[in-house]
Every structure is written in structure tokens, then in C-alpha cells.
Amino acid sequence: MSNPIAGRITLNLVTGIVITVVTVIAGIAWMAHRQNIQAAEGTRTMVMGGIDAMHTRVEGLANDYSWWEEAYDAYQRGDATWIDANIGTGIVDTQIADFLAVISPDGEVRYSWSTPEDAPKPEKVLSPETIARIQDLIRSAPVENNAARSSYLVTPAGAMLFGVARIAPVSKLEGVDPKSLPLLAMGFYLDKKRLGTLGKTFLINDLHLEFENGGERNEAFPTLSDVFGNPIGQLVWTPPAPGTAVLRNVLPPVGVVLVLFCGIAMLTAVRARRLALLQAQSEKQAVSAARTDSLTGLTNRFGFSEISESTTFAEACSRGEAAIVYLDVNGFKAVNDSIGHQGGDELVRRLAERLSMIMPPDANFARVGGDEFALALIGRAAPQAVAGVASAMVHALDQSFTVGGFQFQVTAAVGYAVAEGEDMTPAELLRRADLAMYQAKNSAERDAVPYHSGLETGALHKKRLGFALRTAIDEKALSVVYQPIVRASDLAVVSVEALVRWDSKEFGRVSPADFIPVAEETGFIHDIGRFVFQRACEDMANWPGLKISVNVSPAQLRDPNFANDLAAIARRNGVVPNRFKLELTEGLLVRNPTIAKRKLARLKSMGFGLSLDDFGTGFSSIGYLRQFPFDWLKIDKSFISELGTNPTANALIQSMIALGDAMDIAVVAEGIETSEQLKLLRLLQCEFVQGYHLAKPMAASEITALLTRLGEGRRMFSGPSDSGYVAERTS
């Protein structure tokens, strides 16, 4: 498995090891090399010193035997015996020198001695040119004690170091021409033995003289030149190498340490590599887990959105080679409620398995919600294939499921859309498929629904409203207004009706007539109901003695906790239930009278007042009024609007009022828009009235202000009048 991090770790560690090893070895080698150089330089300096010492010695000797008045006198006398006895034999025999010659001022060898026997005689060695050169050599020296000179000569017996000095009459030197003085030259061969002894003093074993061959010269060694200045050879030796010795001693243990180090480092590298691989693997797993639904093993919502937001998909869309199918299980909540969440999960898993089996080979099939599945088809065949796949998805559920011993016949709403037209975007395709699915949900047929432009009407608007509603409370887009309800006889405000308002960012002010049905369908009505009730409780605190009507949807009443919730909210806010009138429409009563009766009885027993809203619009019959414990009935505004124009309406209203009277139920007429209507209702002895003519729904603060202005009796007008009331007074 190739992994870039693991690879980098290995590379770094190996590089580190190599650098360390090379650095250590190079460091040691460099130190050894420096040590060798220093030792070689030291040795050279010592050898040079040794050579100097030899020169000093030979010059000293030559001087000792020539700065000697008696020797000079003997020479002048030609006393060979004296010279031989006092200079020659003694020196040569005691091996102070190998070679001795007394040279006359005119360049002739007068006396000479040499050793060993077979060594060439000095007169052989000292050619006239050599003597002339030697004379030149001493000429540069002053005439005084210790003024000898030295140089080298090459003889058939080897190289020789010699010193030369003038044999001088020490006490009568004045006026003597130096050139007139005889010379004493003495020297010794630089043979193996002598050089060996010299070398040993400096701990050099092999100091020797190497004669020049082919002009090759090593600048590291001193070159010796003869009396003519011609090089005769080099003093050569093997330079000591203490560094190399140290290297030899140090390398083995250092090598062992390095090997150990490399071993440990390699082990570390291997471990680090393994860890990096493991980590990379678990990262990979985490990444795939984030895109996988743990329950079904299918792609999850996140994974699906990645697919649908990919450029591949966008391109397929614009080429018309993509399709989306949505599937939503019908009534899944009921299944969940009956067999519990575990059973629900099991059902979803089975469902996913069954659906997966009918998927085309490279379908992108995903679980995008609790009971929602989505399928993205990409490719040239997608537009043709999608209808068949969608239909197969519907029929995959034909056979029932057995979960936990129960058999379930599950149906699903399936809708799909095909990419058409060049500017088709993935978002639009998804929206269309969703809309088709939504249509399928609301259709009586079980077939999969393809998207068509006819769907772009009410259904869509409703759906969008539903989504927007979900966030409305959180975004504080909902509010409550109150519309006064007035006693017809004296126009005293006796009550207010709480009406919810929604100011949506997206849709502007939405009428409750539009969004309440949506809220009922989506279940959001429960939150709205609690919100309105809570707000009403808070606002009522400012209006003592005033009753309040709150609208209740049938859907709310179906909630088993409804009565308890209301009672709890009222208690929390310190409001007694009998200040409320709950306004209900007939729908529930007609559909499920038994349950409704029980629920209403319970609310009643808790102290809540009950009001039958929109009376006359539905199937309401006198029978209902008798069966249910209503305190109020509200004549629907559709009757009021026809009041005075339609004689039937007049008669109907009259009988409704009579009915209320007979059953001891207070009657409210709603939707009073004109003074005419008010007048007529008064004539008909309607007890309470509500409508724009008296007061429009208004904010709580406005109600407070109104009540303050009206004062004690809360009468909206001091005397009867034909003109509007609140419109004048409050605007």
C-alpha cells in the first residue's frame, strides 16, 4: 500500500540515518587527517632542525681544526708529520670525519685523509672546479673564529656533507689576505648508518637520501644541493600517521555504535511507517463512514449531496444525461409508533436491501432521511432507464415485510425527474424530483410520478410554505394580534380573539388562512398553538377581567397531550382557564364525534370555555350544539356579509340567534364591516359582535392603550353612532 505520509517518514528517516552516519565517519576521518598533517609537519620541522644541527656540527669541526696558529705554522713549514699527527689521522681514525683535505691557496690538495679504505681519495673527489667553488664558498665568510661554511658533494661513495674553514694564524692576522690562507675541508658520508641515527632521534625509522630520478620531486621533503647549487637528492622518510592509528582504533567501536543506531532508527522508521499507514487507513475509514449510512450501509445524505454537487453530475445534467428519483415511505411514523424504533430500523434496513437489489449496476442509491431514499442516475441511458427503475422501486414494496413477527404492507411515494435542456442544474433537477415525489404523496395512485410542469402550482407553494414555517418561530417571524369582541348593546369590550400573524422574509405577510392548513399538514400547528397560547397568557396579565378567545385546530385537539399542555402553560403563567374560550371549527366534531366529545368534556372540566367557530359553514346541525358543551357560537362572517342584501341570510342569522338563546349559548357575529350590519344585528338581538367596523386585529400594546382610553366601562363609544369606532379612535 503506498501512502505519501508513510513514504515521507521512511525517506526522512533514511536520509537522517545516512546524514548521521556520513557526518560521524567524515568527522572522524577529517580529524585523523588533520592529526596526520600536523604530525607530518612536526616531523619535517624536526628533520630540518636535524640537518641544521649536522651543518653546525661539521662547520664547528672544520673551525676547531683550522682556527689554530700552530696548524698554520706547520703548514707554512710544510711539516707533514705535525699535520698528520695533530689533524689528519686522529680525526679520521676516531671517525669524527670520513674525509679531510688541506687545500693550498692556489687550489691544490696538499694533504688528505679518508676512510674507509675503499673510499675515493679526496684529491679524486676534489676536482679543480670543485675546489674553485669551495674557495668561493668560504670567501663570503669573514676571517674570524667560527666562520666556517658547509655544503654537499656527490662522490662515487655517496653524498657527503662537508665543512670548510681557513687555517688561520690567530695572533698575526693583521694585514693577511684571506685568499692567501690554506683551507681545511672535512666531511662525512650521509650513509645509511648516519641518516638512521639521525632519524631515530626523531622517531623516524626510514630516513634516507633518495637520489633524483627523472626529476620527480616531492615538495614535502627537503632537497639537498651540492656546492654548485645542483640538487643531489631528497631526504625522504615515511611520515608518521597518528591520526590513521587513532582511526584504526576508533572506527570499530564507532562502527558498532553506528550499526546499533541505524538498527534503532530503522526500527523506529518501520514503526512510524506502520503507524502512519494505520492512521491513514483509519482516516480513510472515517471519511467513508461520514458518507455511509450506518443502518443500511448505503450512501447517506452527506454522501449523496457530495455526488449531486459534483461537477461530474453538473455536467451530466447539462448534457441531459442525469435523472433523480426520490422515494418516501408512506406512514412510516405509524410503523415506528407501533413496533418501536428498533423495529422501524429493521424495516428500513429490509427496505434498503430490497431496493438495492433492483438498482442498476452503477446507480448512486442513498438513504437521505429516516424513511427517504434518493437515487441519482448518470449516463446516456439514464433518461430512458429512470421510469422503469422508479416503477420497480414502487413495486419492490408489493410484498409485505415481516418485522418482529408482524407483517407490514408498506407503500412509498416515488417521484422522479429527468435532466432536460442545457441550463439544467443539479439543484433544479433535485427540486423537480422532490416536487414529483410530493405529488406522489398526495396522489391516490401508487405509481411513480414523473415531474411535469403542471406540478409547479399550489403544491409547490404549499411545500415551500411548509419549509419556511419550520424556522418561523425560531426566527421570531410569528406574532399574535388581538381583535376585540364587543357587547352589541353597549359596545363594551368583553373579550379579544388572539390571531396569529406570520411575516415571512420569503413570502411577506402570509394569511393564517393559507399557512394554518399547511401547519396542520406538517404537524407544525402544535408548536404554533403552544406559542399563541403562551403569548396570550403573557399579554392577558395586562388586561384583567378580559376574556380571550384562542383558535384551536382539529389537528391540535387530536394531540393526546393537548389539554394537559394548555393547562400547564396557563398554570405556569398564573392564568385561570376560565378566562379562555377555545374556538373550534366543526371539522373534528363531524369526523370523530366520540373522541371530540370526550376531549371537549375534559377541556370543559378543566375550566376552559368553548366556542364553536365559523358556525353555519360546515355540516353543523343543532344536534352538535346539543352534544357538545359549547358556551359560545360564532356566526360565520360569510352570513354577515350578506346581511341586508340576501333575505335568506337574514332569516338564517335570526334562527341562529334564536337557537343560541334557546340553548343558553352566547352568540357572536363576526365580520361586521359596516354600521348597517351592526344596526341589523342589534335589531336581531345578537349579543356580541366582532369585525373591522368595530376594531381591527391589533398588537397587544394597542389593546392595552385602547383599554386605558376606554376606561372603566370599556365601552367603545359613549353613544350609538353610524360611523366606525376604532378606525376613528385608534388610528
Q: Which residues bind Mg ion (CB under 5 A)?
A: 551, 583, 613-614
Q: Which of 66, 150, 299, 553 binds ligand C2E (CB under 6 A)?
A: 553
Question: Please, which of residues 467-496 interact with ligand C2E by CB under 6 A?
Answer: 483
Distance from C-alpha of 706 to C-alpha of 711, rounded to nearest angstrom:
9
Pick between residue 434 and residue 613 the one whose CB is nearest to Mg ion: 613
> Who's near 492: CB < 8 A, 6+ residues apart?
486, 713, 714, 715, 716
Query: In the complex, what is the shortest distance from the CB of residue 414 to Mg ion, in angstroms, rounded to a whole number?
Result: 39
- Picking from 261, 252, 251, 247, the residue whose alpha carbon sits closest to that of residue 21 is 261
Pick between residue 199 and residue 691 the one whose CB is nearest to ligand C2E: 691
- Picking from 242, 206, 200, the residue whose alpha carbon sits closest to that of residue 34 is 242
Q: How many CA atoms lie within 13 A of 725 on its CB side?
A: 32
Of 143-151, 214-222, 256-264, 509-517, which part binds ligand C2E (CB under 6 A)?
509-517
Task: Map residue 281 onto helix, strand or coil.
Answer: helix
Does residue 499 belong to the site contacting ligand C2E (CB under 6 A)? yes
Does residue 692 belong to the site contacting ligand C2E (CB under 6 A)? yes
Task: Name the amino acid, one letter, at 711.
Answer: G
Element (H, E) at 365: strand 364-367
Query: In the complex, what is the shortest distance from the CB of residue 441 to ligand C2E, in angstroms, rounded to a whole number?
Result: 23
- 344's contact among Mg ion, ligand C2E, none, with CB below 5 to 8 A by partner kind, is none
Pick between residue 115 and residue 534 the one whose CB is nearest to ligand C2E: 534
- Picking from 269, 385, 357, the residue whose alpha carbon sits closest to that of residue 10 is 269
String of contacts with ligand C2E for each residue 649-688, x by CB under 6 A: ---------------------xxxx---------------
C-alpha dihedral (696, 699, 705, 711), degrees to nearest 10: 50
E strand map for 89-236: 99-103, 109-114, 149-155, 158-166, 183-189, 208-211, 223-225, 231-236
- 483's contact among Mg ion, ligand C2E, none, with CB below 5 to 8 A by partner kind, is ligand C2E
Does residue 511 belong to the site contacting ligand C2E (CB under 6 A)? yes
Does residue 611 belong to the site contacting ligand C2E (CB under 6 A)? no
> Who's near 341: CB < 8 A, 6+ residues apart?
none
Of 285-293, 333-341, 405-413, 511-519, which part binds ligand C2E (CB under 6 A)?
511-519
Question: Please, which of residues 437-456 interact with ligand C2E by CB under 6 A?
Answer: none
Angle at which helices 4-66 and 192-201 cross, to 10°: 120
Pick between residue 91 and residue 668 the one whose CB is nearest to ligand C2E: 668
Query: In the complex, what is the shortest distance from the CB of residue 524 to ligand C2E, in angstroms, rounded to a whole number?
Result: 11
The residue count for binding ligand C2E (CB under 6 A) is 23
String of contacts with ligand C2E for each residue 616-655, x by CB under 6 A: ---------------------x------------------
Pick between residue 159 and residue 510 the one whose CB is nearest to ligand C2E: 510
Q: What are phi and psi of 446, to 5 degrees?
A: -95, -5
DSSP string across 135-167: HHHHHTS-SSTT--EEEEEEETTEEEEEEEEE-
Query: In the complex, what is the shortest distance from the CB of residue 594 to Mg ion, in angstroms, rounded to a whole number?
Result: 24
Query: In the complex, what is the shortest distance from the CB of residue 514 to ligand C2E, in angstroms, rounded to a whole number?
Result: 9
The DSSP code for 715 is B
Task: Name the amino acid, one letter, at 358.
Answer: I
Which triple of cell numbers denotes residue 104?
693550498
Residue in this structure with the C-alpha cell 400547564, named with its chain if needed = 568
Pick between residue 300 and residue 551 the one whose CB is nearest to Mg ion: 551
- Binding residues (CB under 6 A) for ligand C2E: these are 483, 499-500, 511-513, 516, 532, 551-553, 583, 613-614, 637, 670-673, 690-692, 697
